[in-house]
Structure 1
Amino acid sequence: MPLTLALGHATQSGPRPRNEDFVGMVTPREPELSTKGVLAAIADGVSGNQGGREAAEYTVRGLLSDYYATPDTWPVAQALDRVLSATNSWVQHQGSVRAELTGMATTLTCVVLRGGFYHFAHVGDSRLYLLRAGVLTRLTTDHVWDKPEMQHVLTRAIGLDSRLAIDHGMGELQLRDVLLLVTDGVWSALRDVDLCSRLSTLALGNPGNSSADDTAAELVQAALDAGGGDNASALVLRIDALPEQDLRDALSSLQLLPVPPRFKPGQQIDGYRIDSVLHNSRSTLLYRVTDLRNHRALVLKTLQPDCGTDPQERAAFAHEEWLAKRAVARFFAQVILPDNRSALYFLTTWHDGSTLQQQLDAATHFTIPEVIAHGTRLVRAAGALHRRSILHRDIKPANIHIGSDGELRLLDFGVAQSGLDAPQRATTQAGTPSYLAPEQFDGAPASRQTDLYAVGVTLYQLLTRRYPYGEIEAFQRPRFGEPVPPTRTRPDVPHWLENVVLKAVSRMPSERFDTAEEFLLALERGATRPLNKAPPAPLLQRDALSIWRSVAVVSVVLNLLLLYLLVVR
């Protein structure tokens, strides 16, 4: 069952000649309901200038449209933060170029209901309340001066400052929860006990028989009757049903499909003919297929039949397809949606060419310009993923395809991680050992820097056919000293390129590139603005264990010598 709500809103100008409040909601259908959720927002334009209403309306309308245009892989807080930061800049700009709108600003409180959780963002003195089991809790904090005579003066608002600080929060939803968003024209005129009483009546109502609009209208009218002298607005949401599946399951109908048997060339499924087996791993199978309707070559990926009953394998496979659908750029194979799907598989575009690993195995010699070109495009591909809050976690030559069209494509999202991943998946070590950053062997989670480290190892391998710290086997506990400079194996490597590669594969995260953009800039500048060679790490930092062992041995020897001298005397 999908997330089901009862929603209602009301707003009145009260004694004011103009209503500077603005209320808005979006209740999408699937798949947006599962991927983005329901969004509700309320804003109160700062009075005292003509721009209050404009700021409130623009902020809410912009949020309701732009939030749904953000990548599905972004966490809710990140999506809201990006949209509201841009809105804040626009409001500030309007107030600076139009004299009649000088000082325009607005409060904002919004809530996103997605899956079984609520997420909110807040700035100003509008409020968000939660009624649960008869107890009313205020979830937001008013951003006003703490002096009694100054509590009507905002310290934070959209458009008030060039740097916007937004409060974020989240929590788990329960059936019969009621969420209330109100402007100060309501909460300042009514006591919490009055709010709780009216919301409790709504909470006890029958699902499907919504009186949320009536409740919102009653709250607004009660505030005005109590002597409220400001615009009054309220937005009410009651949780009538929660989704039975978690977010990842709701994202893909693949969860309910059977795993197909192993195919042989010539067999067909859903109008696709199996041409050959491309890859056969422990958990997945990859086939080259032909769409018989338009004779287009595609790639079909599915689970091994033995993995069909494993819920974790099925969930990971569904998650891989979901991520691959959202990696829309020239650097990735694109997912093709079949008209009818009778089994657990997904399709991607087919591209002639070979992987970098296949070229290494064929003893291909990579020239310096080729390594720079491949590195530049690979860093761009990693950056495209990172901007979508996706970590690849398995960048290596075997997953980098160079097409006959000259394009570089990053393959295989089997262990990729997004901002929506559960904490236990995010901290699980994944990838190929020789390309894992040193800190990952100590339990550190994957990050943008660990992806870029793998890019650096790949470039090092293209230059030298070796690994900077030697090959690392599975379950091995490696020791990391100083990487061997590529020029020792290949003297024709320019010093500026060597410095870039050594920085990328540095043992210490603080000495590596922070972002793909920084890495890309170093490659593009090349010899014109070369990176300085990193100073060698102190001996104690490079091999602390050996140093302290030596100190311990010397200390024992000296103590024994002193003991001998004392005994002899």
Structure 2
Amino acid sequence: MPLIVTTGYHSLAGVRPRNEDFVGMVTPNEPDLSSKGLIAAIADGVSGNEGGREASEYAVRGLLSDYYATPDTWEITTSLEKVLLAINGWVQQQGSVRRELAGMASTLTALVLRGRMYYTAHVGDTRCYLLRDDGLGKLQKLTQDHVWDRPEMQHVLTRAIGLDTRLAVDHGMGELRQNDVFLLASDGVWSALTEYDITYFLKQVSLSILTPEQASSALCAAALEAGSQDNSSAMILQVNTLPEGDLRDALSELRSLPAPPRLKPGQNIDGYLVEEILHTSMTTLLYLVNDTAHHRKLVLKTLHPDRANDAHERSAFAHEAWLAKRVVARFFPQVINPDQRNFLYYLSTWHPGESLQTRLAAGQHFTVPDVISYGSKLVRAVGALHRRSILHRDIKPANVHLGDDDEIRILDLGVAQSGLDSEDKSLAASFTMAGTPSFLAPEQYQGDSASRQTDIYATGVTLYYLLTRHYPYGEIEPFQRPKFADPIVPGRYRPDLPVWLENVLLKAQGRRARTARALVWRILTAEEFLLALERGAARPLPAPGATPLVNSDPATILARAIQRPYPGHRDRGLSAAL
């Protein structure tokens, strides 16, 4: 059953010649209702001129439209925060470039209802209330006014959109319950009425005596009758039905489906003809299938039958399918919705080509221009993931596909994390260290969690390996806990490598310092990585400094020198390292 909410609002100018309040709401259809929820907002312009009305209207309209443009993988609070910061910058700019709008600013209170949770974002002195039908019927004020606490300055705002270049937004969240009644109100309503009065009208909604529309109108009228000297606006939302669970419960259908048996070429599953087994691992199977109804080839990914009854594996696979559906860009295979689905799997587009690892194993030689070109595309793809708050956690040649169309695509989101994973306790086990040992950043071996920088590190190792067929710190086995010295310069294996590209690769693989005072010299973002590749020799990065000999581990130096000497010059490699 979906989330169903009854809503209503009312707004009056009152004794003021102009209504500077603005209210708005979006109640989307699926899939936005499950992924983003519905959002309502109220704003009160605080400027005494034209700017107040313009600020409140822009704040609400901007939030309602831009919120749904944020990635589904962002947390609700992240989406609200980023949109409101952008709106604050715009209001600030308008007030400085248009004289008639000088001093324009607005309060704003927003409410998001999604799944079985509610979220608030608040700045100023508009308010959000909740009346819960829990036997007590007590009114809860979910926001705190941002005003001076001195008696003579109780209506002077300390925070508002457009008031300052920096905006601090209060966020709140809680669990939804059936028949919850929310009220968004401007100060023209709440300052003129007591909490007893507000509770009375909201109870009328809870008891189905008044509709939210009728109660909103009655609240505004009561505020004016009580002597309100300001615009009066109210919006009421009543929760009629709740979905079975939160956003993660949108995956329940996939989790509950049975895993198919191991399939052979020529067999059929839900109308898809199996042509080839593309890949087999301990946990998953990939098939090339023919979608005869739409005359196209697709990739079908499913759980290995041996893991079909593993609750964690089923949950992780459903999470992977959910993430894969949301990375809509040319850098990833696109998920296809099946006409019918009776088994646990998901479908994605098929692209002729092979992984970089397969091409290396077949003897393909990648030139420096090849690596610069493909590396730029790979970094763009990693950046696209990070902008959606997704960490891949297993970037390596085997998970990077080079299509016959010369496009780079990232594969396998099996161990990826998104900003929403914390909402699903069943995914907690996936927060542990995951990935391929030789591509894991040094700090991960010291207990640090995955981050954008660890993906950057793995991307740098991937390009290094593509050029040299070696690892910058030597190959690491799963049972090892390595100690990292300085990486082996890639020019040792590829004398044709430009110095500027060598410096980029070394900076991408730098060891992240663990102290705040130490120098951090790893590339920090995909955008910085891409800029370094595009600028090339025109604006080269400086060579990273070597670790002082006094801070080096002699045993590590000796082991690396023996394992990775200069090609054909064992003694030279040892003497150079020492």
TM-score, normalising length: structure 2: 0.88
Does residue 139 of the first structure (1) align with residue 142 of the second (2)?
Answer: yes
Give 2:212's aligned residue.
212
Identity of aligned residues (%): 64
Aligned CA distance change for structure 1 residues 316 and 21 (closer, same or farther; 3 Å): same
Aligned CA distance change for structure 1 residues 12 and 444 (closer, same or farther; 3 Å): same
The answer on whether the counterparts of 2:188 and 2:229 sit within 8 Å (CA) in structure 1 is yes
The answer on whether the counterparts of 2:512 and 2:521 sit within 8 Å (CA) in structure 1 is yes
Give 1:502's aligned residue.
506
Aligned CA distance change for structure 1 residues 149 and 72 (closer, same or farther; 3 Å): same
In terms of mean alpha carbon deviation, does 245-254 or 457-466 score higher?
Answer: 245-254
The answer on whether the counterparts of 1:15 and 1:231 sit within 8 Å (CA) in structure 2 is yes
Give 1:490's aligned residue.
494
Which of 463, 486, 504 is equivalent to 1:459? Answer: 463
The answer on whether the counterparts of 1:331 and 1:381 sit within 8 Å (CA) in structure 2 is yes
**Whole-Å Cα distance in 1 between the matches of residues 270 and 430 of structure 2?**
35
Structure 1: which amino acid aligns with 2:68?
A: Y
Note the residue ranges of structure 2 that are not aligned, 5 or more in a row: 514-519, 557-578
Alpha-carbon distance, 1:97 to partner = 4.2
**Whole-Å Cα distance in 1 between the matches of residues 34 and 545 of structure 2?**
50
Alpha-carbon distance, 1:190 to partner = 2.0
Structure 2: which amino acid aligns with 1:168?
A: H
The answer on whether the counterparts of 1:20 and 1:44 sit within 8 Å (CA) in structure 2 is yes
In terms of mean alpha carbon deviation, does 35-44 or 464-473 score higher?
Answer: 464-473
SS for the counterpart of 2:118 is strand
Note the residue ranges of structure 1 that are not aligned, 5 or more in a row: 547-569
**Whole-Å Cα distance in 1 between the matches of residues 198 and 553 of structure 2?**
64
In terms of mean alpha carbon deviation, does 472-481 or 71-80 score higher?
Answer: 472-481
Give 1:376's aligned residue.
376
Give 1:530's aligned residue.
540
Does residue 450 of the first structure (1) align with residue 454 of the second (2)?
Answer: yes
The answer on whether the counterparts of 2:47 and 2:103 sit within 8 Å (CA) in structure 1 is no
In terms of mean alpha carbon deviation, does 427-436 or 280-289 score higher?
Answer: 427-436
Give 1:85's aligned residue.
85
SS for the counterpart of 1:521 is helix
Aligned CA distance change for structure 1 residues 185 and 539 (closer, same or farther; 3 Å): farther
SS for the counterpart of 1:298 is strand
**Whole-Å Cα distance in 2 between the matches of residues 440 and 241 of structure 1?**
44
**Whole-Å Cα distance in 1 between the matches of residues 552 and 287 of structure 2?**
46
**Whole-Å Cα distance in 2 between the matches of residues 6 and 478 of structure 1?**
59
1:106-505 superposed matches below 5 A = 106-132=106-132, 133-203=136-206, 205=207, 211-251=211-251, 253-422=253-422, 424=428, 427-505=431-509
**Whole-Å Cα distance in 2 between the matches of residues 210 and 388 of structure 1?**
42
Structure 2: which amino acid aligns with 1:346?
A: Y
**Whole-Å Cα distance in 1 between the matches of residues 471 and 221 of structure 2?**
72
**Whole-Å Cα distance in 2 between the matches of residues 167 and 425 of structure 1?**
31
Alpha-carbon distance, 1:443 to partner = 2.7
In terms of mean alpha carbon deviation, does 189-198 or 464-473 score higher?
Answer: 189-198
Structure 1: which amino acid aligns with 2:526?
A: A
Give 1:555's aligned residue.
none
SS for the counterpart of 1:51 is helix
**Whole-Å Cα distance in 2 between the matches of residues 506 and 364 of structure 1?**
28
**Whole-Å Cα distance in 1 between the matches of residues 220 and 553 of structure 2?**
69
Alpha-carbon distance, 1:271 to partner = 2.7
Alpha-carbon distance, 1:210 to partner = 6.3
Give 2:573's aligned residue.
none
The answer on whether the counterparts of 2:485 and 2:547 sit within 8 Å (CA) in structure 1 is no
Q: Deviations over 1:69-114 (max 9, x none)?
A: 2211111122122222332333334434444333322111001111
Give 2:528's aligned residue.
518
The answer on whether the counterparts of 1:249 and 1:315 sit within 8 Å (CA) in structure 2 is no
The answer on whether the counterparts of 1:371 and 1:462 sit within 8 Å (CA) in structure 2 is yes
**Whole-Å Cα distance in 1 between the matches of residues 551 and 410 of structure 2?**
35
TM-score, normalising length: structure 1: 0.90
**Whole-Å Cα distance in 2 between the matches of residues 211 and 236 of structure 1?**
9
SS for the counterpart of 1:104 is coil
**Whole-Å Cα distance in 1 between the matches of residues 464 and 48 of structure 2?**
62
The answer on whether the counterparts of 1:185 and 1:230 sit within 8 Å (CA) in structure 2 is yes
Alignment size in residue pairs: 544
Q: Deviations over 1:169-204 (max 9, x none)?
A: 22223344332211111121123343334434544x
The answer on whether the counterparts of 1:189 and 1:227 sit within 8 Å (CA) in structure 2 is yes
The answer on whether the counterparts of 1:37 and 1:114 sit within 8 Å (CA) in structure 2 is yes
CA RMSD in angstroms comes to: 2.4
Structure 1: which amino acid aligns with 2:139?
A: L
Q: Deviations over 1:230-280 (max 9, x none)?
A: 111122223343322331231564234332221111112233211110011
Structure 2: which amino acid aligns with 1:521?
A: L
**Whole-Å Cα distance in 2 between the matches of residues 433 and 395 of structure 1?**
11
Aligned CA distance change for structure 1 residues 415 and 229 (closer, same or farther; 3 Å): same
1:13-24 superposed matches below 5 A = 13-24=13-24
Alpha-carbon distance, 1:545 to partner = 11
Aligned CA distance change for structure 1 residues 120 and 482 (closer, same or farther; 3 Å): same
Q: Deviations over 1:384-410 (max 9, x none)?
A: 111111111110000111111111111
**Whole-Å Cα distance in 1 between the matches of residues 210 and 281 of structure 2?**
53
SS for the counterpart of 2:494 is coil
The answer on whether the counterparts of 1:427 and 1:444 sit within 8 Å (CA) in structure 2 is no
